Amino acid sequence: MKPYLTCAPEVAAALAERRPVVALESTIIAHGMPYPKNVETALCVEQIVRASGAVPATCAILGGQLKAGLSAAEIEDLGKTGPAVPKASRRDLPYLLSEGRSGATTVASTMIIAALAGIRLFATGGIGGVHRGAPATMDISADLQELAQTPVAVVCAGAKSILDLGLTLEYLETFGVPVLGYQTDEFPAFYTQKSGFALDYRLDSPEAVARLLRIKWALGLRGGAVVANPIPVERQLDPGLMESAIASALADAKKKRIAGKAITPFLLARIEQITGGKSLEANIELVCNNARLAAGIAQCLAAQ
């Protein structure tokens, strides 16, 4: 894969010296927020990773090349181009590379790039999962299968609350993906700390998470892990308000017959409108919170 993978000099040097590196996705830049807030957030998250003792590696596909680490100019270009850059998951990679095209990486494709580069930690907002109504639609994010087979740990605020969280947890359990509550006994619901779904495993320090990950991979167990890190309590949104907003956004999506990879960006944008921008503010805060934790875990992995 080396002919198709390029690591930024800063990332390549850190990997060669076995220093901590944290992967970051680019769908949140192209599809998750409006310009210029998307670029401001991406650069801010990179700075948080650096200030927390690790090297950021924002991932994307540019001109048919897998990129681990982007320049500020490349991030700016992605942010300005926005949704015109296609979302790229596992199935899209062969086409985009063979045609020399660009793509904004989802959780799944960011994990693939990270694993190829030798990066074990990835920070994002929330993973994809089993969509509401999936028993009829079979709409299940490719993120879940990626977690089952690709050795990268994903630090997130749980799964996006637009999803069926119970079925998402069942799916992860079926495929042997550890879901670790970071200083919590309950699966977070993205915008809120609690979902009502208890977790089997709670770990309270970056060192404990790093120790578990090292043992998992030393045993030869396939796949990654979910490190579920709740949004800070003072930044969480009212659960009732969010469930009402999600229900309204889902109804709008159904009315407009929006489905497939277009549905998540539509729902997030609609929820932002309904909440008067509060959901976007919470999204930014939880991504920053996850980046800090991922950097801490990456430091512990590098030190062991």
Q: What pLDDT is recorded for position 13?
A: 97
198 strand-pairing partners: 186
From the list 25, 146, 272, 285, the catalytic residue is 25
Q: Within 13 Å of residue 29, how many CA atoms lie on the same side as its CB?
A: 31
Q: Is the pLDDT of residue 279 over 70?
A: yes
For strands 55-62 and 65-68, give the pairing: antiparallel
Q: What pLDDT is recorded for position 289?
A: 97
Give the model confidence (pLDDT) of 31-89 as tens digits: 988 899 999 999 999 999 999 999 999 999 999 999 999 999 999 999 999 999 999 99
Q: Is the pLDDT of residue 304 over 80?
A: no
Q: Within 13 Å of residue 16, how many CA atoms lie on the same side as its CB?
A: 7
Cite the beta strand spans of the chain per DSSP E.
5-7, 21-24, 55-62, 65-68, 87-88, 104-105, 121-123, 153-156, 179-182, 201-203, 225-228
What are 13's two structure tokens?
């040097």
Phi/psi class of residue 151: alpha, beta or left (left: φ > 0; alpha: ψ in -120 to 50)? beta
Average pLDDT score over residue span 25-30: 96
Give the model confidence (pLDDT) of 216-267 as tens digits: 999 999 999 999 999 999 999 988 888 898 889 889 988 998 877 777 788 8
If you write DSSP's letter for every residue of 203-222 in order, what string do you get?
Answer: E-SHHHHHHHHHHHHHTT--
Average pLDDT score over residue span 199-225: 97
Give the model confidence (pLDDT) of 142-185 as tens digits: 999 999 999 999 999 999 888 999 999 999 999 999 999 999 99
**Cα 76 → chain centroid:** 20
Active site annotation includes 278: no
CA atoms of 205 and 38, how far apart (whole Å): 30
From the list 67, 87, 160, 261, the catalytic residue is 160
Active site annotation includes 25: yes
Omega of the bond leading into 232 within 30 degrees of 0 (cis): no
Q: Is the pLDDT of residue 1 over 60?
A: no
Give the model confidence (pLDDT) of 73-89 as tens digits: 999 999 999 999 999 99
What are 301's two structure tokens?
């992995």
Q: List Cα–Cα distances, 51 to 47, 54, 143, 288, in angstroms.
A: 6, 7, 28, 12
Average pLDDT score over residue span 195-200: 95
Classified by CATH at the fold level, domain 2-303 comes out as Indigoidine synthase fold (3.40.1790)
Which single residue is written with the structure tokens 């469930």?
243
CA atoms of 247 and 267, how far apart (whole Å): 10
Cβ-count burial 172-199 (b if 16+ within 10 Å, e if not): beeeebbbbbbebebbbbbbbbbbebeb
Q: Is the pLDDT of residue 132 over 90?
A: no
CA atoms of 152 and 126, how far apart (whole Å): 15
Q: What pLDDT is recorded for position 265?
A: 80
CA atoms of 304 and 301, how far apart (whole Å): 5
Q: What pLDDT is recorded for position 269?
A: 85
pTM, entire model? 0.94
What are 111's two structure tokens?
């994990």
- What does the chain come to in residues? 304
H or E segment and range at residue 266: helix 263-274
DSSP 149: H
